[in-house]
Structure 1
Amino acid sequence: MNEVALQVAETPLEETVVRIALAGALGMFLGLEREWSQKSAGIRTFSLISLLAAVFTVLAVEAETPIGEGLLVLGGVLVIVQGVLLAVQGLMSEDEAGLSLTTSVSMLVAYGVGALVAVGFILEGVTVAVLSSLLLVLKRELHEFAWGLSHEEMRSTIEFAILAFVIYPILPAETTVEFAGLAIPLEPQVIWLMVVAVAGIGIANYAIVTTYGGRGIAITGFFGGLASSTAVVGTMLDHVRQRPEAASYAVAAILLANAAMATRNLAIAVGFTAGSDSEILVEAIVPLGAVIVLAFAVAALTADWDESGPMELESPFSLRNALGFGVVFLGVLVFGSLAETWFGTLGFYATAVASGFVSSAGATTSAVVLYRGGQLGGPEATIAILLATVSSIVVKALLASTSTNTDFRNRVAAYSAVLLIGGALASVLVVV
């Protein structure tokens, strides 16, 4: 018995028997919520549907028999017919109409999951099963969310979907622009991704801030900074435009975004060199640590975090603001590319500065990889990381300077200078 169990455990996922068993298990998983909700189709029905799809798919793909292809199509038709019958039955009972339709569609999803797993798309099949089950479980929450959306929130959601899922995929990954006699390589998808990031962080900021007030801005600043600290500025520009009196919170959010950015760079510099043949980049710990500590300290002192009541915002994000931020960001990239071309022998450091405009994490990772490979020494890698960090802080201040709120842009500039000076002094102390 133990030998049989061991053989089963060692059977690879590519084995047909294992794939059929997994298809049945995923069907059972999908039917669990339907069974719990006491619907007409439950665990057994869903599991049998997935098993049927897996068997017919194996016959059609691996056995390569015409009857297998016919059975696969016939099975799908039968599932659809069964689903239609359930839907008709639900229509006769108005209270169950929507629920029967959901069950009908879920049965077709179970059939598709069985087919996916049978042909070897195991990760895809598991993903579809888990997401489908999640949608079924969160029925009430999703309905409440949809019914609670205002016209402006619905419009913003549609605009974000167009930005992320319609425009972004059709843009070219790379292109070249002629400027001042120079060919400047640009990445339109990266530029547009920043627009999407501004919009996405804006939506998250809207949800958090309307619930938690000023403290929500802190959450947006730090966790948004881990994703894209530069995009946080775009969100805060829109936030200050809607609520000028909340400028102190927006400034604190940008400081926390800088702290998150420096924390991420420090984690990359230390984490990817620890345990390797190269020495840990301890040179980066003090200056980056100083930036992190100063950013948290200034943010804590400049905003009244006790004011945690809800704040009313006009909309989740401004499309004009997101597109305007993209235009400014494009200008920053062009300037960075020109600087990299003009600096010549200092090209690597210029690249670190230019990369910091987009994502200092990219420049930090590149420096660490070159350091681990021996192409860069410790001091050179540390300088590159610090230049990328400085570049990220400076570009946030430059982007914030486009705000019409004088107090906001002046405070961002002043506190950014504090971070830079503090990091520089920490570096000097270490050297001395």
Structure 2
Amino acid sequence: MDEMEIFRRMALAIAIGALVGVERHWRERDEDEGARTAGIRTFTLIGMLGGVAGLLERLLGPAGAPPGLVLVGFLVTLTAVFALFQYREEVAQNRFSATAVVAAMLTFALGALALVGDMALASAGGVVLAVILASREFLHQGIKRLRWAELRSALILLALTFVVLPIVPSQPVGPFGGVSPSKILVMAIVLAAISFCGYIAVRLLGDARGELVAGTIGGLISSTATTVANARRSKQGPAVPALAAGAVSAGGVSLLRTAFLVVSLLGPLAPTLLPALIAGAVAMFAMAVLLARANAAGGEGREASRRTPKNPFDLDSVFKMALLLVGVAFAARVASQLWGTGGLYAASALSGLADVDAVTVTVAGMLPTLDPQVAAMALGLAVLTNMLAKAVYASVFGARDFAFTLWGATGLAAVAAAGAHFALR
């Protein structure tokens, strides 16, 4: 390592310390001089100290020094001294927190990493550390708003991802090519994680206000279930436009979910499917906003806006999604092998009566051996069937105005999707 490389790495170590120091100093900027343990100067020096320790480790390594001895010695000394000063400050101010000590240790470690390891990783770690420190209020408020059911769902997601998934067989099981249990579980985890992240985002940014927001949350879980629920409620109350806005917004979210899955799983089909999906979603969102504004003038639907949506990551929901994925995947595979393309189209249309995600996953698994045009047609048929099915459900379960609005939104979205598709061909 030449001198210029050393200067560059040492500058990065110092910059990491300065970045963390700015955040630490800003947080205690109103403290009197000498009343804080560490500010911008101290943390800048800690980053530099890490860089010096890393440089000494590099220089003494070839001389036969035990690997890591210099770094460990510096880190232990720094931690002991810093913790002592921090303890005196905490006692004087009658508060208790180990954040500053841990931040100092990480700043030192990242400074050392800048000298002995990957510079990109060290710089990224410094930015992440500063962001976490600066997000204290946001994170604390988020924890206060979280409920046990949501925390439990997050733990289930982690357990499924890091405990269950590694032991699930990856080889296909069953006749007609079988189904890979691990791929099904991965898709179930991905779909549930999308819903869970959307739910948590709304919870952290504020309680659900109005049927428009509630419908958007419902669309992350199941747009079909949201439509049926709102349709039934439309017969019981006067806020039909608000309920219709929620159902239409859920349909728009469903199209965006499908677009996301297409990009993630069906990359070759993205140029064919994305314009239609996005155009249909935009049309539905525009319709939902107009309906919500029409309802806002009358102040209706406020009671519904206080309704807490169902947690999207209940254990039952996870297994139901997994079973649906398995069933649809198997049915589509059997149908396509027994009856060819027509069988796949039939399976796609039938599954679209309840869900589009399962068809997307199934087509993704068959894509390597499936004609791209057939795959695009199968997924498009499932999306269209799902949109029409929700309009039919609105007619069966909902009030007349609710059903009329859903049919109008469905037609508008279909026209917009068709227009976008043929305009870009």
* Fold match (TM-score > 0.5): yes
| Equivalent residue number for residue 213 of structure 2 | 216
| Equivalent residue number for residue 337 of structure 1 | 330
Flag the 1:171–1:297 CA change in 2: closer, same or farther, 3 A: same
| Equivalent residue number for residue 77 of structure 2 | 78
Q: Structure 1 counterpart of 2:24, which letter?
A: R
Please point out which of 254, 266, 280 is paired with 1:291: 280
Flag the 1:184–1:261 CA change in 2: closer, same or farther, 3 A: closer
Please point out which of 118, 138, 156 is paired with 2:135: 138
| Equivalent residue number for residue 277 of structure 1 | none
Q: Is residue 109 of structure 2 the alignment partner of residue 112 of structure 1?
A: yes
1:374-416 Cα distance to aligned partner (Å, 9 max, x none) = x99xxx745533432442454688899999x9449x9699679
Q: For structure 1, which segment, 16-25 or 304-313, has the greater mean C-alpha deviation from structure 2 after superposition?
A: 304-313
* CA shift for structure 1 position 76: 0.8
Q: How many residues align?
A: 384
Preserved contact between residue 76 and residue 111 of structure 1 (Cα < 8 Å) = yes
| Equivalent residue number for residue 3 of structure 1 | none
Flag the 1:44–1:335 CA change in 2: closer, same or farther, 3 A: same
Q: Tell me the secondary structure at the aligned position of residue 250 of structure 1.
A: helix
Aligned counterparts of 2:82 and 2:89: Cα–Cα separation in 1: 10
Aligned counterparts of 1:424 and 1:107: Cα–Cα separation in 2: 54
* CA shift for structure 1 position 206: 3.8
Flag the 1:21–1:238 CA change in 2: closer, same or farther, 3 A: farther
1:187-246 Cα distance to aligned partner (Å, 9 max, x none) = 21221232233322222344456254344346657xxxxxxx7645399489969x9877
Gaps of 5+ in 1: 1-6, 222-228, 275-279
Alignment of 1:23-422 (within 5 A): 23-36=13-26, 37-38=28-29, 39-60=36-57, 64=61, 65-66=64-65, 69-95=68-94, 97-98=95-96, 101-146=98-143, 148-149=144-145, 153-172=146-165, 175-176=170-171, 178=173, 183-186=178-181, 187=183, 188-207=185-204, 210=207, 212-217=209-214, 220=217, 231-233=221-223, 236=226, 247-261=243-257, 288=277, 291-292=280-281, 294-296=283-285, 298-300=287-289, 303=292, 304=294, 306=296, 311-314=305-308, 317=311, 319-320=313-314, 323-324=316-317, 326-344=319-337, 345-346=340-341, 357-358=357-358, 360=360, 381=372, 384-392=375-383, 394=385, 406-407=397-398, 418=411, 422=415
Aligned counterparts of 2:361 and 2:325: Cα–Cα separation in 1: 17
TM-score (norm 1): 0.67
Aligned counterparts of 1:284 and 1:34: Cα–Cα separation in 2: 45
Q: Tell me the secondary structure at the aligned position of residue 93 of structure 1.
A: helix
Q: Structure 1 counterpart of 2:14, which letter?
A: G
Preserved contact between residue 252 and residue 302 of structure 1 (Cα < 8 Å) = no
TM-score (norm 2): 0.68
| Equivalent residue number for residue 226 of structure 1 | none
Preserved contact between residue 278 and residue 417 of structure 2 (Cα < 8 Å) = no
1:76-118 Cα distance to aligned partner (Å, 9 max, x none) = 10121023202320243134x336x332221111112113323
Flag the 1:309–1:179 CA change in 2: closer, same or farther, 3 A: same
Aligned counterparts of 2:245 and 2:70: Cα–Cα separation in 1: 63
Aligned counterparts of 2:119 and 2:228: Cα–Cα separation in 1: 43
Preserved contact between residue 50 and residue 111 of structure 2 (Cα < 8 Å) = yes
Preserved contact between residue 223 and residue 251 of structure 2 (Cα < 8 Å) = no
1:158-205 Cα distance to aligned partner (Å, 9 max, x none) = 213302333322233653575578632232122123223332222234
Flag the 1:72–1:337 CA change in 2: closer, same or farther, 3 A: same
Identical columns (%): 16
Flag the 1:397–1:22 CA change in 2: closer, same or farther, 3 A: farther
Aligned counterparts of 2:129 and 2:93: Cα–Cα separation in 1: 24
1:104-154 Cα distance to aligned partner (Å, 9 max, x none) = 2211111121133233333432333223222333334444444x43xxx33
Aligned counterparts of 2:56 and 2:388: Cα–Cα separation in 1: 63
Gaps of 5+ in 2: 30-35
* CA shift for structure 1 position 52: 2.2
* CA shift for structure 1 position 331: 1.9
Preserved contact between residue 258 and residue 357 of structure 2 (Cα < 8 Å) = no
Preserved contact between residue 244 and residue 291 of structure 2 (Cα < 8 Å) = yes
Flag the 1:202–1:420 CA change in 2: closer, same or farther, 3 A: same
* CA shift for structure 1 position 46: 1.5
Aligned counterparts of 1:203 and 1:180: Cα–Cα separation in 2: 40
Q: Structure 2 counterpart of 1:338, which letter?
A: A
* CA shift for structure 1 position 32: 1.1
Greater relative CO (CA pairs within 8 A, separation 6+) = 2
* CA shift for structure 1 position 26: 0.6
Preserved contact between residue 280 and residue 413 of structure 2 (Cα < 8 Å) = yes
Aligned counterparts of 1:235 and 1:126: Cα–Cα separation in 2: 46
Aligned counterparts of 1:347 and 1:26: Cα–Cα separation in 2: 60
Preserved contact between residue 209 and residue 215 of structure 1 (Cα < 8 Å) = no
Flag the 1:210–1:179 CA change in 2: closer, same or farther, 3 A: same
Preserved contact between residue 213 and residue 246 of structure 2 (Cα < 8 Å) = no
